[in-house]
Structure 1
């Protein structure tokens, strides 16, 4: 199973939507709440090439992007391939 990490925040519907998709697929993920941890926010900025919006999602250390990017991969049938790697 792939290593999935999500940088998220409280009261973020996009974060909830991304996590719901992964949960429906039975994919475990590690969540970092950047609104509670300044060090994790800085880490996210570095890993996501300065992107500040949340969520920022990584699969096997590759930057996927945000919620819309995750759903786009799923719509194209590419997400399952990434998650099984």
Structure 2
């Protein structure tokens, strides 16, 4: 489960088993977890986060989208 970024107490990562889904990032921390699609950036699901955390997760994802996509493609290219 590669961690791509840690910011505001939230870990942004993905799982090796995610390879059959469109590119996305998971966010965990502050008592919650979420999944955000990267193309386009859109909240897929969330649980336990405050609305202020969800807003921040979307902002961070927008700011680091290219980095997240690069890490996604690099990781899954290495698996195959």
* TM-score scaled by length of structure 2: 0.33
* TM-score scaled by length of structure 1: 0.32
Q: Normalized per residue, which structure has more strand?
A: 2
